[in-house]
Amino acid sequence: MAAADDYGQPQYYLAAHADEVFLHPMGLVLLEGFGGYRRHYKEGLDKLGVEMHVFRVGEYKSAVEPYLRNDMSRETKEALLDVYGDLWRSYVADVAAARKLAPDDVAAMADGFTERLRAAEGDPARMAKDGRLVDRLAPRDEVR
């Protein structure tokens, strides 16, 4: 059994594998997918007069990219989308199997969050229950 006031993505991954999943009636299951942020420093380094000397070989060598550019290169975007996409597909498949749902239904909880929340009249706990991410809505003191 798993019970929580709220589930973030890592917490829900564990909870999904329980026999029963409980969520507080005022709670939320937040599935967002995977991603990240990269800072780029070239403009700041230029203003400070810092000159970078970098030697690199190959197409997907992005470790020094933040010092040489103000944005992400196409190659880096492709590589990160591949990595994050694989992680997300694996997450969705595992959760779907554990909850006996179609992978598309699990992915839709993240991809269609706003529309599903609207359909649940702004109630994220009801949205999670309607999406079969949780079995029952109950405060922790009622879960035994």
The pLDDT score that the predictor gives to residue 54 is 84
Query: What are 1-17's pLDDT values in tens digits?
Result: 999 999 999 999 999 99
Model's pTM, two decimal places?
A: 0.82
CA angle 105, 109, 114 (to 5 degrees): 135
Identify the CATH number of the domain defined by range 2-34+72-142.
Answer: 3.90.226.10
- Lowest average pLDDT, out of 31-35, 36-40, 59-63, goes to 59-63
Q: How far is 27 from 4, CA to CA, in rounded Å?
A: 8
The pLDDT score that the predictor gives to residue 60 is 64
Q: How far is 7 from 24, CA to CA, in rounded Å?
A: 10
Q: 22 has which bridge partners?
A: 3, 136
The pLDDT score that the predictor gives to residue 75 is 86
In the chain, what are the domain boundaries?
Answer: 2-34+72-142
- Scan for tokens 């929580």, then name that residue: 4
Query: What are 52-111's pLDDT values in tens digits?
Result: 888 877 766 788 889 889 999 888 889 899 999 999 999 999 999 999 999 999 999 999
